[in-house]
Each structure stands twice: as structure tokens, then as C-alpha cells.
Amino acid sequence: MNLFSFAVKNLQRRKGRTLLTIAGVAIAVAILFSLLSFSAGYERELTKEMDSLGFHLLAVPKGCPYEATTLILHGGVIPKYLTNEDLARARATDGVVIAAPMLLQQVIKDGTPHIVYGIEPAVMLPLKPAWKVDGRFFTENETRVMVIGSTLAEKENLAPGSVIPFGPAQEQYTIIGVLHPTGSEDDNFHFLPLADAQRLFNKEGLITAIAVKADDVKHIPAIAENLEKVPDIQVVTMSQVTGTIMNLVGSARSLLFSVIVIAIVISAAGITNTLLMSVNERTREIGMMKAIGASGYHIAILLIAETLLITTLGGIIGILAALAGSGIIETFVRRLVPYAPSGSFVSFDPLLIGECLLFSIGLGLLCGLYPAWKSARLSPMEAIRGEWE
């Protein structure tokens, strides 16, 4: 027998109380791990999604640029438009390699909104090198053809060759291609040739946004400045979008952190109380142990070992519970955040797991110190008499 196995046996005395204390620690660690994991995962997925867009700037009609950008990224529709003249001026701006026009429209089918992107394949496809298509992509002058995202194809049971009634006039459109899964919002969209989309929705000469790729990331500020000289255009860089979304998420994160701090304080008070009760019940035993040769150090180590067992076990259970329940929590979090990237927020990050376990151990040490110190300095005679205070 050693002090560790002695500590394990001591914890078995009041199994219910020990399990409740472990559960308290597990809940606090599960919340902490979930929040940190989701925070890191969200930022990673957001950055990945922004990078996958393939462009550096988005030129949108003047108004609230961030709202407009978020709507465009999500596939929403804004009621303002740019014109072909704006597109021409964007293309003529120094440092602009690609300026890809987009017209976004929404159609409702069976009560579900469908997002339609009118694009020019000649300029859009170089921005999306990762796009692979089953079937083929359309050319600029084709009409009544479309390419659709993989999720949409699966949901609607569509494949290359399918013909569907589409648009306000329910014209017959042929699906000529289905995108391979991209892990982004593109998987849910209908893509049409720009001119055909403008015709279909009666928006000739109008575009919703222009995606701009710079020749060098260092030129992005200068390009943005030049583009904003065009009266109708407001420019949003993708790093600004990421920053704005992260700021919004940060506010929610601060709120959650304060909840965690409260949970941890309650958990710590519970652990300390459990230990003090346990020590109080065993005062005479501690006196006996001191009489038969235990020093204050032995008693302190024994109590700290008991605390560490509780908190470490609680930490492991909390992390496992957080990983097991991450799917449910992710669904909940997606409803709360202003913009939810398509990829999973959950990550099995060994560093984060290690940090949370270290936190559990630190919590154990912190909670165990006072009871350990108090019982270590009990005089053996007073302890045998059961005099705790």
C-alpha cells in the first residue's frame, strides 16, 4: 500500500459524496473545454472559409457593408445593386487581377428559400480552383442551364441531366453539372450564367457584388481606397469581415466566460467544502495517524492526493463528456453566432485537452491546500480528542 492507494480507499468511504464532487468538477471542465474548443474551432473554420472564397475584397453597394457581405456570404439578397459601369471601373483599377461580378437572387420552392448565383465562369472559376464538377460547367452565353451544389443536389435528388422548372416564370432549366462537396455555403447554391440570371430575374445590367482578387496582398489597401472612389461602391476586405465576425462572437464568448468563472468558483467551493467535511469527520483518525508516526507532511500529501484524484477524474470525465456532446452543443452554438462557417467547430486538440487537464489539477491543488494545511498542523492530542476547530 502507498499514500496514493490509501487516498483511493479513503474516497470510497462516501461514494455518493465523492461522485457528486467529481460531477461538479466534470461540469465546470466540460463547459470550459467546450467554450475554448468551439472558440478555436470557429476561428479556424471562419478563416478557412474566408480563404476558400478565393478573393481578397468584396465590392458591394453603399449601405451597411458588413451586413451586405455577411448576407452575400450566406447567400442572402440585398435590395441594392451595382452596375456594369461599376464593374468596368473595378476592372480598370490598378492591382486588380480579377473582378468577378455576381448577381444574387432568391427563389422560394416548396416554402424553402433557394439562393441563385449569377456568375461569369471565365472569371469566377479561376477564383475557385478547388471547384470540381460532375458533368460540366456552363459557358457565358448559355441559357436555361445551371450547376448546383452537392448538398442541394442530394436534398433535391438532382443529377446532371435533370430538368427542373425554375425562376419566377418557371422556365425549364437543365442541370448540367453538380459541384463536388466544398465544405462551404457553395454546396447549397444554384449557379447560372450571369446574363441568363439577369434576364431570368429581370435585372439586366445589375449586379449584387464584385469579388476582387489583388495581384499582391500588399496592394489590398490601395485597391480598396481606389475602388471606394467609385460613388456607388463600398469595399469590404475579407480580413475586415473575419475581424468583425470575431468581434461579435467575442462578445458572446465574454458572456460565456463569466458563466464559466461562476461555475468554477462554485465547483471550487464545493470541493473545498467536501474536503473540509471529510477532514472534520476524520479528525480523530488523523490524530491516530500522527500518533503512529505520520507527520504533517504525510497528512497534507494524503489530502492533496485525494483532491487531485477527484479533480483529475472530474477533468477527464468533463473533457470526454464535452467531446461526446459536442454535436449537440455545436447545433446550439450555430444558432447563436452571427455567421456560422460550414465546417465543424469541434476539434480534438491534444494541447487544449492537456491545458484543461492541467486546469483540473491546478483546481485540485488550490482547493486542497487549505484543508491539507489545516489538518497538517493539528496537534495529535487535539486531533485524537476530535478538536478540529
Instruction: Give the footprint of other proteins on this chain (CB under 8 A).
Output: 1-3, 6, 9-10, 12-13, 284-285, 287-296, 298, 379-381, 384
Q: Please state the closest distance from residue 274 (CB atom) to other proteins, in A.
A: 17
Q: Please state the closest distance from residue 4 (CB atom) to other proteins, in A.
A: 11
Q: Please state the closest distance from residue 308 (CB atom) to other proteins, in A.
A: 18
The angle formed by the CA atoms of residues 115, 132 and 235, to the nearest 5 degrees, is: 50
Q: How many CB atoms lie within 10 A of CB 137?
A: 18
Q: Which is nearer to other proteins, 136 or 385 (CB)?
A: 385
Q: Which is nearer to other proteins, 175 or 383 (CB)?
A: 383
And the C-alpha cell for 235?
469595399
Q: Are 90 and 213 in contact (CB under 8 A)?
A: no
Give the orientation angle of helix 350-376 with respect to helix 238-281, to 10 degrees: 30
Q: Which is nearer to other proteins, 123 or 372 (CB)?
A: 372
The angle formed by the CA atoms of residues 242, 243 and 247, to the nearest 5 degrees, is: 120
Q: Please state the closest distance from residue 249 (CB atom) to other proteins, in A.
A: 49
- Alpha-helical (H) ranges within 53-141 are 65-74, 84-91, 121-127
And the C-alpha cell for 136?
460540366
Q: Please state the closest distance from residue 295 (CB atom) to other proteins, in A.
A: 5
Q: Please state the closest distance from residue 368 (CB atom) to other proteins, in A.
A: 19
Q: Please state the closest distance from residue 284 (CB atom) to other proteins, in A.
A: 6
DSSP 173: E
Q: Please state the closest distance from residue 19 (CB atom) to other proteins, in A.
A: 16
Q: Which is nearer to other proteins, 22 or 212 (CB)?
A: 22
Q: Which residues contact 182 (CB under 8 A, 6 or more apart)?
A: 52, 130, 131, 149, 150
Q: Which is nearer to other proteins, 169 or 292 (CB)?
A: 292
Q: Which is nearer to other proteins, 64 or 277 (CB)?
A: 277
What is the rounded distance in angstroms from the CA atom of residue 309 to the CA atom of residue 306? 5
Q: Which residues contact 9 (CB under 8 A, 6 or more apart)?
A: none
What is the rounded distance in angstroms from the CA atom of residue 68 to the CA atom of residue 104? 11
Q: Please state the closest distance from residue 8 (CB atom) to other proteins, in A.
A: 9
What is the rounded distance in angstroms from the CA atom of residue 359 to the CA atom of residue 353? 10
Q: Which is nearer to other proteins, 13 or 80 (CB)?
A: 13
Q: Which is nearer to other proteins, 68 or 313 (CB)?
A: 313
CA-CA distances (angstroms) from residue 209 to 173, 206, 368? 24, 9, 60
Q: Which is nearer to other proteins, 87 or 313 (CB)?
A: 313
What is the rounded distance in angstroms from the CA atom of residue 385 to the CA atom of residue 378? 11
